[in-house]
Structure 1
Amino acid sequence: MYTANGLTDKNQCLQEHAPLVKRIAHHMMLKLPNSVEVDDLIQAGMIGLLDAASRYDELRGAQFETYAAQRIRGAMLDELRGADWLPRSLRRDARRIENAISRLQQKLGHAPVESEIAREMGISLPDYQQMLQEARGSQLMYYEDFRNEEQESFFDRHDLSDAANPLEMLQDERFRAALVAAIERLPERERQLMGMHYEQDMNLREIGEVMGVSESRVCQVHSQAVARLRTYLRGY
C-alpha cells in the first residue's frame, strides 16, 4: 500500500483514515467560534488527507498517521485562512477579558471568579458568559498568523524537514516551566477541563458529560482558562 511515491490505494486510505479527520475537526472546534461549521473543517481535512496520501514517503521516518494528521490540520487551517473567521470586535472583547483578569489578579491576589470579572468589566454575568462563548477561537491564533510576507501556504511553511523543528522550539525549557506553573494557577475546574481536552484528547461533548454541563458551558470555561493562561504568560 505504501511506496516511495505515496500510497498506492488512495480510496482505501481515505476510508481508513476518515475517522482521524473527524476526530481532529471536532477537537479543533473547541478553539473556534460558532460561525465555523465542523462539516467545512472535515471537508478541508479530507483534502489534506488526500494530499498526505499523495506526498507520503516512508523515508521521512514518520508513521503515515502522524504525517497525515499534520497535513489534515494544515488543510483545516488553510480553510480558516480563506475567510476572516474571527471579527475584530471579538478579538477586542477577548483582550478586554484578558486585561480585566490581569487587573483583578494584581488587585485581589487570587484568580478572580466569573462574577468578579464581569463586575470589573462593568457588564452582567450573563453578558460576560455570552462574551466568553463568542470569544471562543480568539485564543487559537489571529488571522494574520496564517500568512507571511511571501503568502506561503500553511503546508509549505510547516512541511516536515530537517531544518527548523517547530516542536523543538515549543519545547524550550523556560517556556515549558512557565506554562506548567501557569496551568497550576488555574482554578481546579478549569485545570481539569484543560487536562481532559489537551491530555486526554476529549471533545466538547465528552467533556460536557464528565463535567455535567452543556457544550456551550464547556466553551465558556475553556475561553476563560485560555484567557488566564495568556495573561499569566505575557512576555513569552
Structure 2
Amino acid sequence: MIDQKEAIDQLWIKWKASRDSDTANRLVEYYLYLIDYHVQRISAHLPQNVLRDDIRSLGFVGLFDALQKFEPERDLKFDTYASFRIRGTIIDGLRKEDWLSRLTRERAKKIDQATSMLTQQLQRQPTASEIAKHLNITTQEVETSYKDVLFANLLSMEEKTSDDSDDYKEGIGHSIIDNQQLSPEDLMVKQENYQELANSIHNLNKNEQLVISLFYHEELSFTEIGQVLSLTTSRISQIHKQAIFKLRHALS
C-alpha cells in the first residue's frame, strides 16, 4: 500500500504526461489547504460585505493557474509556487472589484466630514474616540472604517511591471524608530491614533503602500512579495526602506 507522498508523486508524473482533467482535479483537491490558508488570512483584513466564498473562488483560479504553469523540473516546490499564484490572483481580483459597500462609503464620508470639522474646532487631529462620540458610533466602527478604506485603496492599485527575481533576503532590521525604539509591528498595533497612521500610509506612493500592507499585515517576506508583484526582492527592499523612512518622519 503506497503512502500519501508516493500517491501525490504518481499524480504529478501522470499529470506531466497526460495533463488530463481527472488528474488535475485530484491534485487540486489535495492542495485545497493552500486556498483555505490564504483565504483565511486575507479575509481577516477585509470588510464583512466581502464574501469568503468569492475570495475562495479567486483562490481556485490561482491554484488551477499554478497547476497549468508549474514546471516540476525547476528547483521550486509546488506549494511555494502555488501560494504565490493563489495570493496574487486573490489580490488582483479584489483590486479589480469595487467591494466597499454603499453603507461603508457613507460612513467613511461622515467620518471624513467629522474629522475635518473637529480638526478646526480642536486645532489638532481628533482621535478615533472623539470622532466616534461626535457621530454617536463606537470607536471600533471608526477604526474599522479606516481599515476598510485603507485596504480598498491598497487593492485598487494597477498591475506592477514584470522584473527578474533574485534570492536576496532581508529581515525587519530597517524599522520605524520612535523614542521607545518600537518596531514597525509595535507601532502598527499600539498606535493610539489609528487615523494618523492610516493617513501616513495613504500618503505613501502606490508601490510603498502595497509593500507595507503585504509585509506587515499579510506577513510576507520580501522574496514572497517580489514573487507576487513580479518585482525583484532587492527592489521590494528598496521600496520598503523608502516607505519606512517616510513613515518614521511622519510619525515622529
The question of whether the paired residues in 1 share the 8 Å contact of 2:92 and 2:155 is answered with no
Distance, in Å, in 2 between the alignment partners of 1:128 and 1:93 is: 14
How far did 1:119 drift?
1.5
The question of whether the paired residues in 2 share the 8 Å contact of 1:86 and 1:137 is answered with yes
Distance, in Å, in 2 between the alignment partners of 1:118 and 1:92 is: 17
Distance 1:198 1:40, change over 3 A: closer
Q: CA RMSD in A?
A: 4.8
Q: Provide TM-score, normalisation by structure 1.
A: 0.54
The question of whether the paired residues in 2 share the 8 Å contact of 1:44 and 1:79 is answered with yes
1:33-55 CA distance string (max 9 Å, x none) = 11210001111111110110010
Q: Which residue of 1 aligns with 2:93?
A: 79
- Quick check: 1:133 aligned with 2:144? yes
Q: Provide TM-score, normalisation by structure 2.
A: 0.51
Q: Which residue of 1 aligns with 2:52?
A: 38
Distance, in Å, in 1 between the alignment partners of 2:115 and 2:72 is: 44
Aligned match for 2:134, one of 104, 119, 123: 123
How far did 1:60 drift?
3.9
Q: Which residue of 1 aligns with 2:190?
A: 187
How far did 1:69 drift?
0.8
Distance 1:90 1:120, change over 3 A: closer
Distance, in Å, in 2 between the alignment partners of 1:164 and 1:97 is: 45
The one-letter code of the counterpart of 1:73 is R
Q: Which residue of 1 aligns with 2:119?
A: none
The question of whether the paired residues in 1 share the 8 Å contact of 2:114 and 2:131 is answered with no
How far did 1:134 drift?
3.8
How far did 1:72 drift?
0.7
What percent of counterpart residues are identical? 19
Distance, in Å, in 2 between the alignment partners of 1:232 and 1:14 is: 41
Q: Which residue of 1 aligns with 2:69?
A: 55
Distance, in Å, in 2 between the alignment partners of 1:121 and 1:79 is: 32
Distance 1:81 1:90, change over 3 A: farther
Distance 1:17 1:31, change over 3 A: same
The question of whether the paired residues in 2 share the 8 Å contact of 1:33 and 1:137 is answered with yes
Higher RCO structure, 1 or 2 (CA under 8 Å, sep 6+):
1
Please say which of residues 135-144 and 85-94 is displaced more in the overlay: 85-94
Which runs of no fewer than 5 residues in structure 1 stay unpaired?
100-106, 149-153, 191-196, 200-228
The question of whether the paired residues in 2 share the 8 Å contact of 1:182 and 1:232 is answered with no
Distance, in Å, in 1 between the alignment partners of 2:39 and 2:113 is: 28
The question of whether the paired residues in 2 share the 8 Å contact of 1:32 and 1:138 is answered with no
The one-letter code of the counterpart of 1:177 is S
Distance, in Å, in 2 between the alignment partners of 1:13 and 1:60 is: 18
The question of whether the paired residues in 2 share the 8 Å contact of 1:93 and 1:131 is answered with no
Which runs of no fewer than 5 residues in structure 2 stay unpaired?
1-10, 117-123, 195-216, 220-243
